[in-house]
Structure 1
């Protein structure tokens, strides 16, 4: 898999060089739950920064735009909203679009742009923890107007991670158990089948065609999203 990481990293380094200096290169990496978006994004960014010798790239995860549990409790059906957390309607899409628009604007050296991260242990976003360029998240290729499709319109490229559905399910089951979303394997399986895979189908049925398909990393990897 190192060859794939190296190839994609070298490609982005060359692509960035062709951009005007005041324009950022924005890449949206999407995929169904358990496809390996976080792992791919982080390893590409690490390689880009090693190649350039500077912090040229950074991952901006969409997870930071989950609505907080406090916000979800204000929904008309708070129990469903909290159980379905991870569905596209449980994200602050408007807030994410605002961030993307700021990053798409010409670079100003005296401007610092902050973005939230997400604490899976606490289960809520963490404000102003990240600063710029490869976006990764479930719904970054959605064609739903007006907000999701607007997010896509600002991206230079759309990369979609292709993964075997059963491999993805097993990864998420393990992750749910590790993060105590499911206290038992049975509970984790129930959540995967009644939330994560519903989200997976929604993604597959409502996304723009990607500009690049990346095959998922090996099933032996330990960190997935």
Structure 2
């Protein structure tokens, strides 16, 4: 995906301020948030680091202990407070200090700590995730820590097809993939869709 000129201009305007800025990309599962984030990073090499919210998934073992593994991806299956704390650190970079963020690995079903370095001199941090605009479950401070939020929008039939294909790549059986995409993922998608109006812009995804 190539970044549209109008989106690039918005990023130029953010970075023209001369201070660290944080751009958020919100949207439901399968909407193309990671694709859009990658397009931004590709268009601004060396100037942008992507820090996905997914790095704050609770560990699979903890989800099982809490009895939440069957709805992984719901708001209360994330360390929202940890995510907020990281965003606050990223908003106030200390000269010469590198902040390390976690990264979620789907093949491990867990996040890996310290996987994403964010040097202090990087002008733009991009974070993408389902719940950047959610006003509950510990995510309410997030929106105020972001300078701008884009909402990745995808036609529902295409979003579901992408989501099913993504789950199949992780080794889920076709029947389990369908049930998960139309069950827990769909409930999360409806929750995220209700936050769409809070975004600064809506970005139609190809």
Taking the aligned partners of 2:11 and 2:88, their CA distance within structure 1 comes to: 21
Q: TM-score, normalised by structure 2?
A: 0.91
The answer for the alignment partner of 1:102 in structure 2 is 89
Contact kept in structure 2, 1:142 and 1:207, CA below 8 Å: no
One of 173, 179, 189 as aligned partner of 2:170: 179
SS in 2 for 1:113: strand
**Which runs of 5 or more residues in structure 2 are unaligned?**
119-124
- The reply to whether residue 213 of structure 1 matches residue 202 of structure 2 is yes
The answer for the alignment partner of 2:134 in structure 1 is 142
Give the superposition deviation at 1:3: 5.4
**Which runs of 5 or more residues in structure 1 are unaligned?**
50-54, 218-225
Taking the aligned partners of 1:216 and 1:189, their CA distance within structure 2 comes to: 22
More strand by share: 2
- The reply to whether residue 70 of structure 1 matches residue 56 of structure 2 is no
Give the superposition deviation at 1:94: 0.4
One of 153, 158, 176 as aligned partner of 2:144: 153
For this pair of structures, how many residues does the alignment match?
Answer: 200
Taking the aligned partners of 1:155 and 1:109, their CA distance within structure 2 comes to: 21
Q: TM-score, normalised by structure 1?
A: 0.84
What is the CA RMSD across the aligned residues, in angstroms? 1.6
The answer for the alignment partner of 1:47 in structure 2 is 43
One of 101, 105, 111 as aligned partner of 1:115: 101
Give the superposition deviation at 1:74: 2.2
One of 24, 37, 41 as aligned partner of 2:33: 37
Contact kept in structure 2, 1:159 and 1:210, CA below 8 Å: yes
The answer for the alignment partner of 2:8 in structure 1 is 9
SS in 2 for 1:177: helix
Contact kept in structure 1, 2:3 and 2:43, CA below 8 Å: no
